[in-house]
Amino acid sequence: MGALDEARTPFALATSSRRPWVERHFKAHKLGARFHNVVTRDDVVNGKPDPEPYLKASAALGLAPMDVLALEDSHAGVRSAHAAGCVTVMIPDLLAADDEMRAKALVVRSLDDVRGLIGD
């Protein structure tokens, strides 16, 4: 996130978690002021894989979804970001990428690979 801060690149979180969980973890890791916006499951009618979380996060950043780079670790998240029209990158976590995920996202091994993509 430091590189994004230095480049003055706004970033948001679109999560399937509920707001109390996010707030508890943000406080524990001192992340509260880092994100320009946070969209939780409590902020949308339709959660992931629906595009609503990413559409809402994009709007909060003042960006068109096609101008948003979405980093995802789950199949539902990839489906959500892709359906919203975001440029989607998957960093697999619990489930490996399958053909559907590779068709909807660029699949990389780690966040270090993402840093290389965005020129850090």
Q: What is the pLDDT of residue 5?
A: 67
Give pLDDT tens digits for 49-60: 999 999 999 999
- The tokens describing 86, both together, are 């975001």
Q: What is the pLDDT of residue 92?
A: 93
CA distances from 97 to 65, 90, 100 (A): 23, 8, 8
DSSP state of 18: -
- Per-residue pLDDT band for 37 (boundaries 50, 70, 90) equals very high
**Which range is most confident: 7-11, 31-35, 65-69, 114-118?**
65-69
120 vs 67: CA distance, rounded Å = 18
Mean pLDDT of 2-23: 86
- Per-residue pLDDT band for 115 (boundaries 50, 70, 90) equals confident
- The tokens describing 81, both together, are 């970001």
Give all strands of the β-sheet with 106-107 in edge-to-edge order.
69-72, 87-90, 106-107
Residue 78 in contact with residue 72, Cβ under 8 Å? Answer: yes
Instruction: Catalogue all structural domains in the chain, each as residue range(s) with its CATH number.
Output: 2-117 (3.40.50.1000)
- Residue in the structure block whose two tokens are 């992931």: 48
**pLDDT above 90 (res 79):** yes
Mean of pLDDT over the chain: 92
**pLDDT above 60 (res 99):** yes
51 vs 98: CA distance, rounded Å = 20
What is the pTM for the complete model shown? Answer: 0.91
